[in-house]
A and B are shown apart, each in its own frame.
Chain A
Amino acid sequence: MAEVEGSLEPAGACPLLPLVTDGLCFTGGDRRLILDGVSFRLDDGFRTVILGPNGAGKSVLLRLCHGLLRPTAGQITWGGLSPAAAASRQGMVFQRPVLLRRSVRANIEHVLAIKGVRAGERGARVRAALERAGLARLADRPARMLSGGEQQRLSIARAWVMEPEVLLLDEPSSSLDPAATRAVEDLVREVAAGGARVIMTTHDIGQARRLADDVLFLHRGHLLEHSPASSFFAGPAHPAAARFIQGDLID
């Protein structure tokens, strides 16, 4: 049912996986419990979508996994590694693209320089990355003057240029129009087909149907369901999830 077209063949053994979380809790600055006892295990070879309404704790969960936040309680391991140790082998794409006040090309060069790619090699890799993201003709434009969709594709290209084993995306198309959303989704599929494990958050049920191989349904900081996309959309086990995918507003 889901349009899982171009279904990826399982990527080769990815030593960062499985991602295992155990009893993950996170308390926000105002002492509000944002995540409460989230435990799951993600194995190799899928596009995972973390689905849930706004405020469910999806972004926080992704940031915890990437080591940008520290859990208040609980454990996260990437193939046995801590999130901080695993972060350098992951790419992260933020909901609002964080682009440097430089040209499109210089944004990609920046991350290559940080990762220690020799100056002589950077040119070819920048070109390849921009080519894949369909941004080659915009290479010399100031990055922050691009359209929203182009900016997000640039962030994905920038995260992808290091060929990360895992690509994390936080609501990458939440403020984009349908055409730009499609371009972003195509790019995400391509990344996954290239062998990277994709984990993304969305509150958009349609997007989850289009992209997910398995779904983590998060609601008010609780993980209510983790199932393969086909069975999740055929009939979610949890009533809140069922109402959510019918389009009801849940709170």
Chain B
Amino acid sequence: MTDFVNAFRTAFELIVGLDPELVRIVTLSLQISLAAVLAATVIALPLGAAVALLRFPGRRAVVILLNAAMGLPPVVVGLVVYLLLSRAGPLGSFGLLFTPTAMIVAQCILVMPIIAALTRQTITDLHEEYDEYLRSVGAGPLRSIGTLIRDGRFRLLTAVLAGFGRAIAEVGAVLIVGGNIQNVTRVMTTTIALETSKGNLALALGLGLILIIVATTINGLAMAVGEAAESRHG
């Protein structure tokens, strides 16, 4: 029990004292997850909107695939990205394995389906509601998509935040493709796993606290965005 209390105290000191290693790890975590979510959003918003609005053969299969991919096991994503990026793999020549870029790629693959599936749902719901009005006033396809994205912006932002929450808290994929190399590819989750197994509970706990704060803030933000939209526009 005293071990535990001591660990907490040290963890607290690390956070308050802005321990350089801790700061480096947290910064890298945020950078990687932000980049991954940004990249995923750029792909997922048009993809989700297209699946919602266009009728093409195999559309249903894409919808099912997107929804299923929301629950992709991170370690499997890590394994696949590992195979692609390893020296012998098809993208091996880029030398990306065990770099932050590889981690961004893995997280991007992990959260893209989440953002795309939620985007599809949002745009589908809004389209159902707006469709007759938009057709009645003769809105073209681009104008219609623009209207739906603009009016769905709060819910789309919530989708992006959900993606970020998943990215920042995920461990399996980044551990495999990043390698958890000190000062290079160590992020909050991988460090927590490593330090816990080494018995260095203080750093693990400190990072754990920060991770909880980040995750809770993201969730709170998502809720606040949703409620603000609800109370403003119904």
Does the CB pair A100–B151 fall under 8 Å?
yes
A238 at the interface (CB under 8 A from B): no
Contact yes or no, A144 B132, CB < 8 A: no
- Residue of B133, B138, B143 touching A98 (CB-CB under 8 A): B133
Taking CB atoms and an 8 Å cut-off, the chain B residues in 121-146 that contact chain A are 129-130, 132-133, 135-139, 143
- Chain A residues with Cβ below 8 Å from B139 are 114
Q: Which residues of chain A have C-beta atoms less than 8 A from B130's C-beta?
A: 98, 100
Contact pick for B129, options A67, A98, A114, A142, CB 8 Å: A98
In the assembled complex, which residues on chain B have CB atoms less than 8 Å from the CB atom of A105?
Answer: none
The prevalent SS among residues of B at the interface is helix
A66–B143 CA distance with the chains assembled, in angstroms: 20
Complex CA distance for A94 and B132, rounded to whole angstroms: 9
**A96's closest neighbor in chain B, by CB?**
B129
Give the residues in chain B near A98, CB-CB below 8 Å.
129-130, 132-133
> Which of A101, A114, A142, A145 is B137 in contact with, Cβ under 8 Å?
A114
User: How many contacts between A and B, using CB within 8 angstroms?
Assistant: 45
List the B side residues contacting A92 at CB < 8 Å: 132, 136
- Highest count of chain A CB atoms <10 Å: which of B136, B229, B232, B233: B136
CB pair A102–B136 under 8 Å, yes or no, is: no
Q: Residue of A at shortest CB range from B139?
A: A114
Please give me the residue from chain A that is nearest to B129 by CB atom.
Answer: A98
Contact residues of B between 84 and 131, Cβ < 8 Å to A: 129-130
User: Does A180 sit within 8 A of B, measured CB to CB?
Assistant: no
- Chain A positions 29-66 with a Cβ under 8 Å from a chain B Cβ: 63, 66
Most buried by A among B133, B138, B139: B133
CB of A139 to closest CB in B, whole Å: 16
Smallest Cβ distance from A118 to chain B, in angstroms?
16
Q: At the interface, yes or no: A231 with Cβ under 8 Å from chain B?
A: no
- Mark contacts of B218-234 with chain A using CB atoms, 8 A cut-off: 1 yes-contact digit, 0 otherwise: 00000000000100111
What bracket does the count of chain B residues touching chain A fall in?
10 to 19
| Closest B residue to A113 using CB positions | B143
Interfacial chain A residues near B229, Cβ < 8 Å: 101
Question: Are B138 and A145 within 8 A (Cβ)?
Answer: no
What residues of chain A lie closer than 8 Å to B233, measured between beta carbons? Answer: 101-102, 142-145
Within the complex, the shortest CB–CB distance from A94 to chain B, in Å, comes to 7
CA distance A190 to B41 in the complex (A): 48
Smallest CB separation, B233 vs chain A (Å): 4
Q: With both chains docked as a complex, state the minimum distance between the C-beta of B56 and any C-beta of chain A, in angstroms.
A: 21
- The answer, among B133, B138, B151, for a CB contact under 8 Å with A101, is B151
Complex Cα gap A110–B133 (Å) = 11
Chain A nearest CB: distance from B132 CB in Å?
Answer: 6
In the assembled complex, the CB of A117 is this many whole angstroms from the nearest CB of chain B, namely 12
Decide yes or no whether B147 CB sits under 8 A from chain A.
Answer: yes
B138 touches A114 (CB 8 A): yes
Residues of A with C-beta under 8 A to B135: 67-68
A138 and B147 CA atoms in complex are apart in Å by: 22
CB under 8 Å from chain B, chain A span 91-136 = 92, 94, 98, 100-102, 110-111, 113-115
A24 to chain B, nearest CB (A): 19
The 6 tightest CB contacts between A and B, nearest first, are A101-B233, A144-B234, A98-B133, A92-B136, A101-B151, A88-B138
